[in-house]
Amino acid sequence: MKELTVTANEGGQRIDKYLLKRFKTMPQSLAYKYLRTKRIKLNGKKAAPSDFVSAGDVLSCYIPEEFFAETAEETAYTHIKPDLKVVYEDENIIIADKPAGLICHSDDKEGYNTLINHIKAYLSEKGEYTPGGAFAPALCNRIDRNTCGLVIAAKTGDALRDMNLRIKKRLVKKQYLAAVHGTPQPKEGTLRGFLSKDSGANRVYLSGKKTSADEKEAVTKYKVLESQNGLSLVLAELVTGRTHQIRAQLAGAGYPLLGDGKYAVNKKDRRQGFCHQSLCAYRIEFLRSEKDSLSYLDGKEFYASKPDFLKLFKYRF
């Protein structure tokens, strides 16, 4: 038998959710069985799957040792030396400035060198994170591997819940800078459409009207800041947050991003040294909201490093 004490970060969730996060190799049906047969007790008593755990609660676990073993995913961050540019940090969140080329989460090609693992390694060095709990630092938003800029990570369960709710309610304003071919007309407006995702090809397809239940509406506000030499510097604001939204919508309007080989042909761009989309998650602003654990962020704004493609333009921020 082993005992687990629920931490402050882990409290406030159903016990079945807690167990599945804590014991990542445990099947859901087995977790329910262990609760039903009292092989997992909450404060010495039988617990129902819908019971909530609180900070300080003790779970007595009469289960195989194998479920306590750390998974490869949990310890992946130990294989890297943290290299993280922190724009802002407090006890609840980190805002990191991700470079182009670094993936946010692991995929079938990269399992270690990811933004989330750099964040875990960084917090581990500070003594703020150890694996094995029911909560680990988590990203609240993601950007593509070759898009640079700001990504928010939560350090606590409350922060993750409240930040995700703020994003869902569109209370986190996210603005991007992009270099595109041509000059969008009109020079300021809103792009609307519907996107369907092809996970196998890792791309989306744009249509003007909804033709299936799988399609999701995409809305992007944009403004041309400068045009010269056949290129334009565009400020884009996400109203919705869909996969490849800015890339697909600007390409669909006839103004593909400089260097983008997925939604345009980029042979000429590559010869000039632009081998991936010229896109930067440049600015985040926290709008006023109802009172929550992150209310102190209301009205604050943060900026990423200026992307390299800004050198193509005279515009100054």
Q: CATH 3.30.2350.10 in the chain: give the residue spans.
A: 72-168, 172-312
CATH number of the domain located at residue range(s) 172-312 in this protein = 3.30.2350.10
> Which pLDDT belongs to residue 1?
87
| CATH fourth-level superfamily of 72-168 | Pseudouridine synthase (3.30.2350.10)
> Which pLDDT belongs to residue 63?
93
- Angstrom distances, CA of residue 169 to CA of 44, 50, 105, 127, 163: 40, 27, 24, 33, 10
Q: CATH 3.10.290.10 in the chain: give the residue spans.
A: 2-68
Class for the domain spanning 2-68 = alpha beta
> Which pLDDT belongs to residue 243?
93
Q: How many residues does the chain have?
A: 317
Averaged pLDDT, groups of 10, the chain, 317 residues long: 86 91 89 95 95 94 86 81 96 97 88 93 91 86 96 94 94 97 97 92 90 91 97 97 96 97 95 95 93 95 97 91
> Which pLDDT belongs to residue 305?
97
CB 280 within 8 Å of CB 148: yes
**Which conformational region is residue 38 in: left (phi greater than 0), alpha (psi within -120 to 50 degrees), or beta?**
left
> Which pLDDT belongs to residue 227?
97
The pTM (predicted TM-score) of the whole model is: 0.84
Q: Scan for tokens 């196998």, then name that residue.
A: 200
CB 139 within 8 Å of CB 104: yes
Report the amino acid identity of residue 299. Answer: G
